Structure 1
């Protein structure tokens, strides 16, 4: 075997004219895939749920192979795409008829922050890490949890937040790294501190303290700056 055989590398021992067939196959499969997504509807090309992501991956796999491989026929791929779209339509119809089935397929929206503190039960259910969640909030120009009345993890995985009016902003857990990284189990002066884990704000004196909400021991000095739009 030749170490670098450019004909084998570039064409896999296929005739050069097969490139014309690849162009033809690609145009056909791209058109079919485009029509399939049109039939699936706009929802299928917005923020995707887990189910929709699986559908898109399946469609991509069904469309990709016939574009490149001479031993994969176009008609079997078309049948696969038709079956996937029919399956997608059937599932979306069932989700519109049954709330339980919809919850099973799509999941449900979880309230992850309630009145400026983490909702511990919801946070434990989500795979979202605290650092990742703080990143999402910072991208919305949020500096601390006291600015947030409620925050939700939507079924698409996106974070939606609802804010307190400026005159109702509370003291809360800072999520800016330069402030949050100062968390400590030792309280050095009297003041309002937020639990570094759940965000509960407490008035503490110099001591070591356990959070009454989650029993964690690390605290960050709470702040109450208003949100900058």
Structure 2
């Protein structure tokens, strides 16, 4: 097609794939990736939450396909982006409205240190070595476990620390 030739406007806005198929494919891919990211754990995710990263990746891909013409229709891409955003909003609403489902659909913080003692089973589960944890603690100005009341790995992969309260005669 020459630059000055008019595009096929009807092909841009007509569906090239049945909308129900797009909804089914988008939903299936969303849930497959969601489950895989949950199983992979939070440590390698970085500062983005699992759902945040999933939405960014899927929307980018869905939008790219719609813009590049792989679907051959903008309408196909719009439906897929709507499906992805819809699942994200629905999960957020369900977790907020039904706290019992929070454990299954969202990540919670996990305690790594309690009253100066490592919880080794949780370190193993999250694949964090004692050296890595101590490095994180040093970045927060803590050089001994005894100074930690609680340390948690948060849903976004960051480690938060609650310092032990100093007693009257100790430093």
After superposition, residues 114-193 of structure 1 pair within 5 angstroms as 114-167=114-167
Return the offset for 1:131: 3.3
Q: Say whether 1:58 aligns with 2:23.
A: no
- The answer to which structure has the higher helix fraction is 2
Matched residues in 2 for 1:132 and 1:60: separation?
33
CA deviations 1:95-139 (Å, max 9, x no partner) are 112223211121222111011110123223223333332232222
Matched residue count: 129
Q: CA RMSD in A?
A: 2.9
**Residues 149 and 164 of structure 1 are in contact (CA less than 8 Å); yes or no, is this contact kept in structure 2?**
yes
Compared CA separation, residues 71 and 119, structure 1 to 2 (3 A): closer
SS in 1 for 2:112: strand
Q: Say whether 1:86 aligns with 2:61.
A: no
Q: Say whether 1:112 aligns with 2:129.
A: no
After superposition, residues 94-105 of structure 1 pair within 5 angstroms as 94-105=94-105
After superposition, residues 6-17 of structure 1 pair within 5 angstroms as 17=3
Matched residues in 1 for 2:123 and 2:169: separation?
22
Matched residues in 1 for 2:164 and 2:50: separation?
32
Return the offset for 1:81: 0.7
Compared CA separation, residues 168 and 162, structure 1 to 2 (3 A): farther
TM-score by length of 2: 0.63
Compared CA separation, residues 112 and 65, structure 1 to 2 (3 A): same
- Unaligned ranges ≥5, structure 1: 1-13, 22-46, 171-225
- Unaligned ranges ≥5, structure 2: 8-46
